[in-house]
Chains A and B, each alone.
Chain A
Amino acid sequence: MLLWMGIFFILPLLVMLAVSFAGRGTYGGVEWTFSLTNYAQLFDPLYLRIYGRSLALALATTTLCLLLGYPLAYSIARAPVRWQGVWLLLVMIPFWTNFLVRTYAWMFILRTEGLMNQLLINLGVISQPIELLYSDWAILIGLVYGYVPFMVLPLYAAMERLDSSVVEAAWDLYATSWSVFWRVLLPLTKPGVVAGCILVFIPSLGAFITPDLLGGAKSMMVGNLIQHEYLVVRDWPLGSAISFSLMALVLLGVLAYFKTDGRLDRFEGGG
């Protein structure tokens, strides 16, 4: 286990950390001089705007995935046992197709002459095709579509373990449906919610294919910036510094959560 972690996780991280302090070779590669300039560059207002934008999009994606995923996971967990496997399989089937291919499929759906516009016109909602593709909305749709299974699976796992007699007890005690959800269901499925949110938030923060293909590459997210630094500008040290800080921030966030909220959970559980 330790060896496995060392080879596949810690070693690459250490290489990245070392590179992030190095100097840039004009033609890519690194010059092994120690400097903090890469980290100082991170606070460039231009880059701060990129982080802000990525954060907003990742938060919106996570929220939408939660809103869509929660009822879905709940109905799967409540379905007859022999059907649950089928529903879960249906949630996972899209993973068998390459993400790039699925993103291209969305381009066909959203484009001006695409399925979505035709559907809306036939339904009489709009009279002229509207611009759906190449916008922030398209990016959001693509991200939510891509990551909703990451939300559903941990939620399902939490709900499946849920003791239904607890929910029945709440009903018996005349709880309204809102308080059943808010005071019983949600606290009991919280580990699933947290796991799902983390699993959706992190990859959508680093996404770069979706913003390019569905957003028309008209603006950047952190993922695009990192890719740009590595492959176009050939500034591996800056690319490493951005990647490393991004990861450290996410890690700190998760740790902070487990330090505070995790402890409260146990307290409540004991009470």
Chain B
Amino acid sequence: MNTLQKRQWLAALLCLASLSACPTTPEDGPRKSPTLYYFTWSDYVSPELIAEFEKQAGVKVVVDTFGSNEELLAKLQAGATGYDVAVPSDFMVSIMARQGLLAELELEQIPNAKLLAERLQRLPFDPDNRYSIPYLWGTVGIGYDSNVISRQPDSWTVLWDPRYKGKISMLNDQREVFGVALRVMGQSLNSRDPAVIVQAKAKLLSQKPLVKTYTSENYDQLLISGEVALAHGWGGAVARAMAERPSIKYVVPKEGGTIWSDCLVVLKTSRNRELATRFINYLLDPTVAARTTNRLLFASSNRQAKALVDEQLRENPAVYPLDSTFDRLEWMADLGEAIRLYDRAWTELKMQ
């Protein structure tokens, strides 16, 4: 056999080997080592922490990602089974629980759940942690460039200031964008009042000419490059921009806004609940949680983790919300059929 043929044989063998080494269901694994299927947000895992769990527990972890709560729900409803652990946000936990998609947690197997920060205990969507445990959390606020906006903005109304025309980005998310207008009007961001929602739409329409783009993905890049000077966005993403451009600052305006928490849940269709529970407990371990925060720039729910987090992150209001802001933060609730009102108003906002 000459070298060329040998190489071809090798390549063919490699292909075969790699084919058999990608288990699609837990049963297919070549060594029958148990596999955990983790369904989470894109860019929401730290690969070395996953690798450490794999080594420590002698299992394999397969990570799959989604881009929004709605996508997570749609995929599970469309029949995606086989996932063990998922990470829905607050209001989606209550929807998924009501839809019977979640397994009840065995809390005695998750000792780290006792270390929840006080603020994150007894949350309205799952007060007894029957189905979910808060994992990473934060606020929605304004990321701004202090070189352009000299006085620290203290109100959402800065997003209506004509001086910053074309320098503003808003999240491409109907609930969050309407939330801003509703809070400016002194209303709850969970309002179900049709008249109030119409008013909020008018308010947002008057803002639209100033908005450069509605985006939920790359506003940190826009802030860094200076394309926008004011970005409505999630704290962690603004913190990423801060690391690249120190003149970027973050504020939760005085009218208040959204507080959110992504939660760890075990899916009812999980075939390995014991392993799923162990994985959740691992992610909530103080050291693991602190390393997660250091990497992802979102605050951990573990009260002991905060002391282990890098100091400048601990004191960054974009990562760990300031104590003084708490009484003006609001959890987003599931609106049931009232979501239609927002949907209509949002489509009208886009088409005018």
A residues with CB within 8 A of B:
26-29, 46, 49-50, 53, 107, 111-113, 131, 133-134, 212, 216-220, 224-225, 228, 230-234
Contacts and interface: CB of A to CB of B under 8 A. Distances in A.
Nearest to A45: B351
Interface of B: 68, 70-71, 73-74, 77, 95, 98-99, 166, 172, 174, 208, 211-215, 218, 225-227, 336-337, 339-340, 343-344, 347-348, 350-351
B213 A220 contact: no
Nearest to A134: B213
A113 B227 contact: yes
A212 B172 contact: yes
Given A28-B77, A233-B340, A217 B174 contact: no
Which 3 residue pairs are nearest across A and B when measured between Cβ atoms?
A216-B213, A217-B214, A233-B343
B287 to A, nearest CB: 36
Q: Which of A107, A220, A231, A232 has most B Cβ within 10 Å?
A: A232
Contacts, number: 73
Contact of A231 (B70, B214, B336): B70
A214 to B, nearest CB: 10
A232 B347 contact: no
Nearest to A25: B77
A225 B347 contact: yes
Contact of B215 (A28, A49, A53, A217): A217
A219 B351 contact: yes
A27 B99 contact: yes
Contacts of B336: 26
Contact of A228 (B98, B99, B227, B343): B343
Given A111-B227, A112-B227, A50 B351 contact: yes
Given A113-B225, A217-B215, A219-B351, A234 B172 contact: no
Contacts of B339: 233-234
Given A29-B77, A228-B343, A220 B214 contact: no
A230 B351 contact: no
Contacts of B227: 111-113
Given A27-B98, A111-B227, A232-B174, A220 B212 contact: no
A26 B337 contact: yes
A229 B347 CA distance: 10
A112 B337 CA distance: 41
B348 A234 contact: no
Given A49-B351, A233-B340, A216 B74 contact: no
Contact of B71 (A112, A134, A231, A233): A231
Chief secondary structure at chain A's binding surface = loop
Contacts of B208: 218
18 contacts: A27-B73, A27-B77, A27-B95, A27-B99, A50-B347, A111-B225, A112-B227, A113-B227, A133-B213, A216-B214, A217-B350, A219-B351, A220-B351, A232-B68, A232-B70, A232-B174, A234-B73, A234-B339
Contacts of A134: 212-213
B182 to A, nearest CB: 18
A228 B95 CA distance: 19
A216 B351 contact: no
Q: Among A27, A133, A134, A224, find the residue whose CB has the most chain B CB atoms closer than 10 A.
A: A27
B279 to A, nearest CB: 27
A133 B222 CA distance: 12
Contacts of B347: 46, 50, 220, 225, 228
A212 B227 CA distance: 17
A46 B77 contact: no
B343 A232 contact: yes
Contacts of B351: 46, 49-50, 53, 219-220
Contacts of A212: 172, 215
A224 B70 CA distance: 15
Q: Which of B71, B336, B343, B348 has the most CB of A within 10 A?
A: B343
Contact of B226 (A113, A225, A233, A234): A113
A231 to B, nearest CB: 5
A158 B213 CA distance: 42
Contacts of B340: 233
Given A27-B98, A113-B227, A219 B213 contact: no
A259 B166 CA distance: 50
A217 B343 CA distance: 15
B350 A218 contact: yes
A130 B253 CA distance: 31
A28 B225 contact: no
Nearest to B343: A233
A140 B95 CA distance: 39
Given A27-B98, A28-B77, A131-B166, A217 B213 contact: yes
A107 B214 CA distance: 14
Nearest to B211: A218
B310 to A, nearest CB: 30
A46 B70 contact: no
A28 B350 contact: no
Given A112-B227, A231-B70, 4 more contacts: A28-B77, A46-B348, A113-B225, A232-B174
Contacts of B95: 27
A68 B211 CA distance: 33
Nearest to A211: B350
A219 to B, nearest CB: 5
A78 to B, nearest CB: 40
Nearest to B76: A28
A134 B172 CA distance: 13
Given A113-B226, A113-B227, A212-B172, A234 B350 contact: no
